[in-house]
């Protein structure tokens, strides 16, 4: 900075600069500002620590020095994503298998290995303690993510101590027994909850073996005597609470609006479908508006081989519990799930939320929903499993919902007739997504795609049309080119393709023709730029 600029910057109060820096979206830009002057270096430190990602304990430990040099930053932290430590026993067990690293199996070597294990465990506990003590000072966090952790009472105490908490994500975590005991999750202020790949701790299992349960109840009967008279209800020892269900009952937060889960966090069965849900006050939040169930695989996944002993067996998630959940949620506007009801269950139209606006499910279910609810965005999963299923479904849906704004289709194979049917039936589309298994359209089809089909949808701003990765995976492919290897890069090749689309599709802002790359531009006539896609979404949000 020159002297005049520095002088002007010095006159601006620090509070104003802090407000400005808090609006800078990229940390790289903040780092650039931090080297402009000594004052900016001091002021940007707080802005750089508004949103923390502490996924590696070593990186978080190095960051502690910054907090010690800059006191008073803790109340300004607004989001935290953390993966913090594991039980000391886990560390000791992991190290005990590597004794061979410290020499042969002599008494001296074993003693040295024991010293290393002890020192490492003590160091880990010290660092974890220091980080955890710091985390508890982040009293104004509005977004919290716990990743790959052992969840115990301290974590639930932290969750309940954050009055500004609105978004909570728990992923790849293990709930230890009684972690949520004594906490009323209905009073949490969260409006958004995500629980993925969660598991019971080894001490959080409920034994459902009839003989063992009868023995336990007999022992409790001897200890406590018979249950009270009629109307008093069964004592808790007759039907002991499931500690895992208590942890999952985060989903009963009264202000919850968005819920995202996978099969590991089956709140529909263990929480809202449990026999004692009414007695516990576990009711579907009246404010719930969006429900997303994560897909584990796409249509490209091979059919799992089943053992003869398990012939006909299949996953029960989400069974009918999801359907019953939706019937109790009158405010629901969005439902996106790979399975809505089992094949043998008939959906009662009158039981569905009246305000459904976005819906994604297997094609038969989605087609039915479109006929009974005024949806604006529709996802048709598992299309094309029978001959021309997708084209037939589109014709039927167009009779009742020609004004769709967003359409998503997951097809077993590429069918050019689908694109033709879409452009013919849905003139008001703003976003179109067609993903498919196997080979897709050739270069000539894509060149003529805009004048022949996309021009029929003048409001279209996003087109996603690409081949899904094999084996049901969500890791996109990043080819060096599509068809012509003479281009310097795939960005040049895609840009060359889109040049011919410009006058037919002036409103287009995003085009994805391959799973690993998307082309975007900020305005009509702007330069198309390549964006790399790191991972495909496992949830269809159906936004438009």
Predicted structure pTM score: 0.84
Choice among 62-66, 220-224, 532-536 with the minimum mean pLDDT: 220-224
Q: What is residue 380's predicted lDDT score, i.e. its pLDDT? A: 97
Q: What is residue 509's predicted lDDT score, i.e. its pLDDT? A: 97
Q: What is residue 389's predicted lDDT score, i.e. its pLDDT? A: 87
Residues 361 and 340: beta-carbon distance below 8 Å: yes
Query: Is position 26 within any domain?
Result: yes
Mean pLDDT of the chain: 84
Query: Is position 43 within any domain?
Result: yes
User: Tens digit of pLDDT for each residue in 324-339?
Assistant: 999 999 999 999 999 9
User: Tens digit of pLDDT for each residue in 235-268?
Assistant: 544 556 789 999 999 999 999 999 999 999 999 9
Query: Is position 178 within any domain?
Result: no
- 541, β-bridge pairs: none
Q: What is residue 255's predicted lDDT score, i.e. its pLDDT? A: 97
Mean pLDDT calculated for residue range 422-430: 97
The number of distinct structural domains making up the chain is 1
DSSP assignment of 520-539 equals E-SSTTPPPEEEE--S--SS
φ/ψ (deg, to 5) at 79: -145, 150
Query: Is position 45 within any domain?
Result: yes
Query: Is position 220 within any domain?
Result: no
Query: Is position 34 within any domain?
Result: yes
Query: Is position 36 within any domain?
Result: yes
Query: Residue 345 contacts by C-beta under 8 Å, 6 or more apart in sequence?
Result: 320, 323
- Tell whether the torsion through CA atoms of 499, 500, 501 and 506 is positive or negative: positive
Query: Is position 382 within any domain?
Result: no
Q: How confident is the model at residue 24 (pLDDT cuts 50, 70, 90)?
A: confident
Q: What is the 3-class SS of 92-141, one letter each residue?
A: HHHHHCCHHHHCCCCHHHHHHHHHHHHHHHHHHHHHHHHHHHHHCCCCCC
User: Tens digit of pLDDT for each residue in 72-119?
Assistant: 889 989 999 999 765 444 444 444 444 444 455 677 777 776 776 676
Query: Residue 131 contacts by C-beta under 8 Å, 6 or more apart in sequence?
Result: 54, 57, 60, 61, 64, 84, 85
Residues spanned by the domain of 45: 11-49
Q: What is residue 305's predicted lDDT score, i.e. its pLDDT? A: 60
Q: Which residue has the higher pLDDT, 390 or 40?
A: 390
Q: What is residue 470's predicted lDDT score, i.e. its pLDDT? A: 92
d(CA 463, CA 433): 6
Cα 482–Cα 485–Cα 490 angle in degrees, nearest 5: 50
Q: How confident is the model at residue 313 (pLDDT cuts 50, 70, 90)?
A: very low
């Amino acid at each position: 900075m020159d002297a005049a600029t520095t002088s002007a910057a010095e006159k601006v109060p620090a509070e104003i600069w802090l407000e400005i820096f808090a609006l800078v979206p990229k940390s790289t830009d903040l780092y650039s500002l931090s080297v402009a002057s000594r004052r900016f270096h001091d002021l940007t430190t707080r802005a750089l620590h508004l949103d923390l990602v502490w996924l590696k304990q070593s990186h978080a430990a190095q960051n502690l020095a910054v907090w010690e040099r800059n006191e008073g930053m803790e109340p300004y932290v607004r989001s935290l994503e953390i993966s913090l430590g594991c039980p000391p026993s886990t560390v000791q067990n992991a190290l005990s298998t590597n004794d061979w690293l410290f020499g042969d199996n002599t008494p001296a070597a074993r003693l040295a290995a024991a010293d290393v294990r002890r020192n490492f465990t003590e160091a880990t506990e010290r660092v974890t303690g220091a980080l955890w003590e710091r985390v508890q000072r982040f009293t104004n966090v509005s977004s919290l993510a716990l990743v790959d952790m052992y969840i115990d009472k301290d974590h639930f105490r932290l969750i309940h101590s954050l009055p500004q908490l609105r978004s909570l994500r728990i992923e790849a975590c293990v709930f230890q027994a009684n972690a949520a005991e004594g906490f009323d999750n209905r009073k949490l202020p969260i409006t958004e909850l995500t629980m993925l790949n969660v598991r019971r701790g080894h001490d959080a299992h409920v034994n459902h073996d009839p003989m063992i349960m009868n023995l336990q109840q007999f022992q409790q009967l001897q200890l406590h005597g018979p249950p009270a008279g009629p109307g008093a209800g069964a004592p808790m020892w007759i039907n002991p609470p499931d500690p895992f269900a208590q942890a999952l009952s985060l989903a009963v937060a009264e202000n919850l609006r968005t819920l995202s889960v996978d099969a590991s966090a089956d709140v529909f069965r263990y929480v809202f479908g449990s026999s004692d849900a009414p007695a516990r006050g576990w009711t579907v939040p009246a404010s719930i508006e969006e429900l997303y169930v994560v897909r584990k695989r796409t249509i490209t996944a091979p059919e799992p081989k089943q053992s003869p002993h398990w012939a006909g067996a299949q996953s029960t998630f989400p069974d009918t519990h999801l359907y019953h959940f939706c019937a109790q949620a009158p405010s629901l506007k969005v439902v996106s799930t790979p399975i809505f009801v089992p094949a043998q269950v008939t959906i009662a139209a009158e039981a569905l939320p009246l305000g459904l606006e976005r819906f994604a499910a297997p094609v038969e279910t989605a087609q039915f929903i479109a006929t009974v609810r005024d949806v604006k965005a529709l996802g048709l999963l598992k299309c094309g499993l029978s001959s021309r299923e997708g084209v037939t479904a589109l014709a039927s849906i167009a009779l009742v919902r020609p004004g769709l704004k967003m359409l998503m289709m997951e097809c077993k194979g590429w069918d050019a007739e689908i694109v033709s049917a879409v452009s013919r039936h849905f003139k008001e589309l703003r976003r179109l997504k067609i993903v498919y298994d196997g080979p897709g359209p050739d270069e000539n089809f894509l060149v003529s795609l805009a004048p022949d089909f996309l021009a029929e949808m003048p409001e279209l701003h996003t087109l996603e049309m690409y081949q899904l990765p094999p084996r049901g995976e969500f890791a996109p492919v990043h080819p060096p080119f599509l068809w012509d290897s003479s281009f310097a890069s795939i960005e040049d090749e895609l840009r060359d393709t889109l040049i011919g689309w410009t006058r037919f599709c002036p409103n287009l802002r995003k085009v994805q023709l391959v799973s690993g790359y998307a082309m975007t531009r900020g305005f009509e006539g702007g330069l198309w730029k390549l964006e790399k896609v790191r991972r495909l979404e496992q949830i269809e949000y159906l936004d438009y």
